[in-house]
Amino acid sequence: MTIGAPILEVEVLVIGLFVLMVEAFFERIDKRTLAFAAIFGLAAVLAASFFLAPAPTDVATTGFWSFYTADLLAIFFKRFALVTTILVLVMMVDYAPVVRQSVHGTTHQSGLGEFFALPIFTCVGLMWMASAIDFVMIFVSLELVTMSFYVLVSFTRRNPATLEAGVKYLILSALSTGFLVYGITWIFGVTGETNLARVTAVLADPALESGPALFGMVLVLVALGFKIAAVPFQMWVPDVYQGAPTPVTAFLSVGSKAAGFVVLLRVLQPFFMMPQMVKALTIIALLTLLYGNLAALPQTNLKRLLAYSSIAHAGYLLIGVVSFAGEAVAYYLVAYLLMTLLSFAVLVVVANQTGDNIEDFSGLAKRSPFLAFAMLVAMASLAGVPFTAGFLGKFYIFDAALRQHQTTLVVVGVITVACGFYYYLKVVRAMYWDGSSIDAPVPVSRLSRVTMTAMMVAIVVLGVYPQPILNALK
């Protein structure tokens, strides 16, 4: 039995609407069952994604298949979005008490239903984005994702820090939308097309003046730079990551970034023969690596630290992009998903008891050896210790860069890895070396425990045996 790839989005959409309806018409139920239902549903869709009917491979000139592709990259990132959303929903269940405190309503669980429904719609947007091969499609699906993030980021609106984050995210995202639209306009103006394949075909004509199209592409790159948090478009990241509700931060740092990279990989294809483009991206990658890693060094708040670390990882991913290594980028993103979401999952649980500063993790090894070990694995992987997925990701990236003789990038990359060891191990130090005034054990729900264990196992297994990911792309 097989299904068509576009059905996947419809299914997810139905799950979202279902959650929304139940939330609206059944006030008495425990809203957390909605999250469990959604997790179950998304898992079912994830399973269904392994029984896909083959999609048309050649791009149609008009109609559905001129906007939508179901190639391997798209399917891969659809699954990626589903996994991310499932993990974020698990985190959101743990985070529910905080939402309750900051969104007072008529009932004690008011607002929770929407909190669980919005990520599902975001997930649909991410899945559409993974399939987008037309600038119009990219625009609308990107806006769907952005729109739901506007709401999610400012969701706990009783908390002033959250609102500030929301406003900052709003303004900078809207700005990036402006650049995106204007850039697409220029590309359309030169080529008369919005479909990526046809844009490529038109641009291949040497008689065409490429300057204006390149200008349009630069504007699109600026917009995507905001999404993937590349320097110099990263200024919103630390504040928004720190202020937003923690599961949303996790979603933002993984889902939004991954989608940005898929679009980047697709959009860059028509422009990669231009040496200016590679040079510009190389410089952006260098700046991103340096800024993300150096600014992370003095941080004392874990959410903020992870924000800078996400900028830093964008730098490594950009090395992969500059080296034309789509496979390496995809693998790195998977590793990034696992390790980032694992650290956020631990953060949510621990922050419920103490707080989200690094010093709040002091003595975690005594309070909850399980959580401390999970965090240790996540940090080791983020830093790039072998036998974790994070190391293999860096390995692929550096290998790709050396293949393209990007020596500068590699040298800077290696230096910044050493910086990374310093700030990630700061967290490890707090957990294992430092004592704590609190001795109360940290409660972990069974669902979180199972999820975290699964993520730890995945990090280690993929760190030794990367073949499943590589096969999925072949």
Partner 1 sequence: MVTLGQYLIVSGLLFTIGFAGVLLRRNIIIIFMSLELMLNAANLSLVAFSRFRLGVDGMPNYNAQVFVFFIITVAAAEVAVGLAIIVALYRARQTTHVEDINSLKF
Partner 2 sequence: MSPILFWLFAFVMLVFGAAVVINRNPIASALSLVVCFMGLSALFISLDAFFIGIIQVLVYAGAVMVLFLFIIMLLDLRVEERRKINLVAFVGGLAVAFALFVQICFVVDQLGAAKQAFPSLRAAKMDDVHNVGLLLFTNYNLPFQIIGVLVLVATIGVVVLSKRELR
Partner 3 sequence: MILPFIVFCPIVAALAILCGAPARRTALWAAGFTLAATLLVYFEFDAGRRGFDFVVSYPISDAWRLNFTLGVDGLSLIMLLLTAIVTFAAIWFTGPIATHEHAFHACLLLIAGGALGAFASLDLFFFYAFHELALIPTFLLIGIWGTGNRHAAAWKITIYLATGSFILLLGLIMLYRSVPDGARSFDIRALQKAAALGMIPTDAQGTIFLVLLIGFGILVSLFPFHTWAPEAYASAPAPAAMLHAGVLKKFGLYGLLRVAIPLLPQGAQQWTTLLLVLLLGNIIYIGLVTIAQKRLDWMLGYSSVMHMGYIFLGIASGTLLGMNGAAVLIFAHGISIALLFGIAGEIRQRTGTLLLSDLGGLGKIMPRAGLAFGLAAFASIGLPGFANFAGEVMVLFGAFRNGAEPYRFHIFQIATVLALWGVVISAVYMLRAYRKVFMGAMPENWSGVTDLRRSLHVPIGLLVAVTLWFGFFPQSLVRIVSPTFKSYFTQKP
CB 131 within 8 A of CB 262: no
CB 16 to partner 1: min, Å: 17
Q: How far apart are the first and last CA of the chain?
A: 22
Query: Of the ranges 123-131, 295-303, 366-374, 379-387, which one interacts with partner 2 (CB under 8 A)?
Result: 123-131
Q: Which does 385 bind (CB under 5 to 8 A by kind): partner 3, partner 1, partner 2, none?
A: partner 3
Instruction: Determine whether 147 is exposed, middle or buried from the number of CB atoms within 10 Å of its CB (0-12, 13-18, 19+).
Output: middle
Count of residues interacting with partner 2 (CB under 8 A) = 41
How far is the C-alpha of 123 from the C-alpha of 38, rounded, in Å? Answer: 12
Binder among 192, 232, 386, 443 for partner 3 (CB under 8 A) = 386
CB of 337 to partner 3, least distance (A): 20
| Residue 63 phi, psi (nearest 5) | 85, -170
Cα separation, 464 vs 167, in Å, equals 42
Q: Exposed e or buried b for every residue in 312-350, given b needs 16+ CB within 10 A? A: bbbbbbbbbbbbbbbbbbbbbbbbbbbbbbbbbbbbbbb
In the bound state with partner 3, the residue whose beta carbon lies nearer, of 100 and 394, is 394
Query: Which listed range, 162-170, 327-335, 337-345, 419-427, lies at the site for partner 1 (CB under 8 A)?
Result: 162-170
Q: For residue 202, state whether it binds partner 1 (rule: CB under 8 A).
A: no
Q: Which of 61, 185, 276, 453 binds partner 1 (CB under 8 A)?
A: 185
- Per-residue contact string for residues 354-383; x = within reach of partner 3 by CB under 8 A: -----------x-------x--x---x--x
- What value, to the nearest 5°, has the Cα angle with vertex 252 and ends 250 and 258? 105
CA distances from 430 to 68, 360, 375, 436 (A): 48, 8, 11, 9
Q: Binding partner 2 by CB under 8 A: which of 62, 437, 467, 471?
A: 62
Sites for partner 1 among residues 115-154 (CB under 8 A): 136, 139-140, 143, 147, 150-151, 154
d(CA 334, CA 472): 12
Whichever of 183 and 260 has its CB closer to partner 2, that residue is 183
With binding defined as CB under 8 A, does residue 471 bind partner 2?
Answer: no
Q: Are 42 and 120 in contact (CB under 8 A)?
A: yes
Residue numbers 170-209 binding partner 2 by CB under 8 A = 186, 189-190, 209
- Give the HSE-up count for residue 374: Cα atoms under 13 Å, Cβ half-sphere: 29
Here's the x/- map for partner 1, 278-317, by CB under 8 A: it reads as -----------------x----------------------
- Binding part of the chain for partner 2, among 98-106, 225-233, 329-337, 413-421 by CB under 8 A, reads 98-106
Chain centroid offset of residue 257 CA: 4
Q: Which amino acid is it at 65? A: W
- Partner from partner 3, partner 2, partner 1, none binding residue 104, C-beta < 5-8 Å depending on class: partner 2
Q: Which residues bind partner 2 (CB under 8 A)?
A: 13, 20, 62-64, 66-68, 104-106, 110-111, 114, 117-118, 121, 124-125, 128, 136-137, 140-141, 143-144, 147-148, 150-151, 154-155, 157-158, 186, 189-190, 209, 211-212, 215
